[in-house]
Structure 1
Amino acid sequence: MRGGRHVAAVTDASFDLAAGECLALVGESGCGKSVLASALLGLLPANAATAGAALLPGGTDLATADERLLARTVRGRRIGLVPQSPAAHLTPVRTVRSQLEETVRELTQRPRRELRAAGEVAAARASFPAGHLDRHPHQLSGGLAQRAATALALIGDAPLLLADEPTIGLDRALVDRTADELRRTVDEGRALLLITHDLAAAARIADRVAVMYAGRIVEIADAAGFFGEPGPRHPYARGLLDALPERSFRPIPGMPPELGDLPAGCAFAARCDRADDRCGSQPRFDGRVACHHAYAEDSSRA
């Protein structure tokens, strides 16, 4: 709820994620990506409401789990989180080293004599420099804080890793290094939900791509076909790729609609050069794409 009215921040989001797979969730700011991540971990504001199911292997439903269950058995143990705002997740009065060692002790039950070395190994996995381990969060740059949060998320080797903008604030070399470390966790058999604006990072490590617009998933595709041939089917997804400097460098015209004032039909119609009368109704997501024009090219080639 916002300003006394209900806002549907995420609607009809449906996807699966297998062990050993990375799904990249992409889209412009404000489309609902981080809200979805917060919902999965029970971190929404108290006035938020959810419906539906989010099932972990074994049947645990994240949508209905209470705080006690989430805090004791899910967060850190079954789902590792790389947060979008790492400073809010780091304890300000404790050094990075002490936070890493405490997390190692809590999640792995290592003896005290092994904590220092294990904390340094955790830092190295996220490219966090050993010379900064004894600093407090306020002494870190945004990029260093992000790497500290990534190191904490990787400690428990949780079977599902949820990374919300894990490369924000990093230079290109560190983006690639962080992406490669996340990919390594996937290749070891973990599942990764990567929420990102960085399409280059997504192309580097994702197996599949889900595109979100105005609170809805509008396309899910294999990464190889999405970034290569035949490319995306949804006009918005094509626009995201065309806006990249290494492609057409052509921005999508207009602005996304406010989530509290969505049109009755396709939310992208006002920005789409293919919009017609059909777009006055909400397109159905068929598991691949939600667009009235998605298969028009297929029909013309038939």
Structure 2
Amino acid sequence: MTVLSVRGLTVRFRMRESAPVRAVTDVSFDLAAGECLALVGESGCGKSVLASALLGLLPGNAETAGSALLAGAGDDPATDLIAADEATLARTVRGRRVGLVPQSPAAHLTPVRTVRAHLTETVRRLTGTRGRDALRTATEAAARVSFPAGHLDRHPHELSGGLAQRAATALALVGDAPLLLADEPTTGLDRDLVERTVDELRRHTGATRALLMITHDLAAAARIADRVAVMYAGRLVEIADADAFFGTPGPRHPYARGLLDALPERAFRPVPGRPPELAALPAGCAFAARCAHADTACATQPPLTGGLACHHPHTAPADLVHPPQAAEAPGA
């Protein structure tokens, strides 16, 4: 069963004094029930914009194209998240059919309400549970993500970044939504809590549920992902099975291989150069200026074919075949 089918998703931001920002360009992928897809890449490559587009949370200067078909449930039809109006997204999609672990949890928490109040109200709204049962379910939701019971009556400003992240994760899990979007869900967490959090997110997947995890933490991706999608300058450049990506034969795209080579337990060699500005992308391969294999063929944009968009893919095994244990890609 396919939970989410994205086709040709494109997002542009109109700017008053410059060319449009091409944040996401022609992205297509499927996400099956029971699957975790990890979306990785450096900051500014379009990952979070993609998540915002799926939830209809883009600013007013955004222009979107393409489709993102979210599977229906029971007698409910499938919904195109890109074409759906705000009323539909607010009433039937957000929280109920798509759960979000936000990148900036403090911005999604009401400052005058305690964590317990947030959780209890969410339980009531999404499940219809009332009274003591709602309070008990809220406490259980907090325990799922190791949120300390002694902090449930604190307000958002009284929480550390890591605790706010755990509170937001608990809220996202309450509705058992078919699609869970986790945007940097391990920010501010120590390694033990990273593993416990991503393991809980992974347990969310099932016969009708899937997880799209946006992350810089390649160790977290290696721990729970079934597939890895690598994004660069607004485009997907590689989609691969996680075992092959982190093991043998390793990434095929030079940029994807560079992300792994930058890890301390690998070559500890950063990707040279800097990503291009999304308002001034080259006509051809956006990675060509940073790639040691670039030639005249790279003046044209390679399509994503067979899970790869590259004129000169790697074919040799990766330097190391063991998945990373605890590191983030520098510059991500």
Q: TM (normalized to structure 1)?
A: 0.96
Task: Return the offset for 1:97.
Answer: 0.3
TM-align CA RMSD: 1.3
Inter-partner Cα distance in structure 2 for 1:255 and 1:277: 20
Task: Return the offset for 1:160.
Answer: 0.6
Confirm or deny: 8 A CA contact 2:253 2:314 kept in the other structure: no
Residue in 2 that maps onto 1:232: 251
Higher share of residues assigned helix? 1
Quick check: 1:11 aligned with 2:30? no
Confirm or deny: 8 A CA contact 2:33 2:207 kept in the other structure: no
> Which runs of 5 or more residues in structure 2 are unaligned?
1-13, 73-77, 318-332
Q: How does 1:123-142 map to 2 (within 5 A)?
A: 123-142=142-161
Q: Name the SS for the 1:145 alignment partner.
A: helix
Offset from partner CA, 1:137-193 (integer Å, 9 cap, x none):
000000000000000000000011000000011110100110110111124652000
Residue in 1 that maps onto 2:111: 92
Offset from partner CA, 1:233-281 (integer Å, 9 cap, x none):
0000000000011111110011000000111111001111111111111
Residue in 2 that maps onto 1:247: 266
Percent sequence identity over aligned pairs: 76
Inter-partner Cα distance in structure 2 for 1:297 and 1:282: 23
Q: Aligned to 1:111, which of 103, 122, 130?
A: 130
Residue in 1 that maps onto 2:57: 43
Residue in 1 that maps onto 2:322: none
Residue in 1 that maps onto 2:47: 33
Higher share of residues assigned strand? 2
Task: Return the offset for 1:8.
Answer: 1.1
Distance 1:120 1:297, change over 3 A: closer
Quick check: 1:150 aligned with 2:150? no
> Which runs of 5 or more residues in structure 1 are unaligned?
none
Inter-partner Cα distance in structure 2 for 1:182 and 1:45: 28
Q: Aligned to 2:296, which of 267, 277, 288?
A: 277
Confirm or deny: 8 A CA contact 2:252 2:315 kept in the other structure: no
Q: Aligned to 2:199, which of 156, 165, 180?
A: 180
For this pair of structures, how many residues does the alignment match?
298
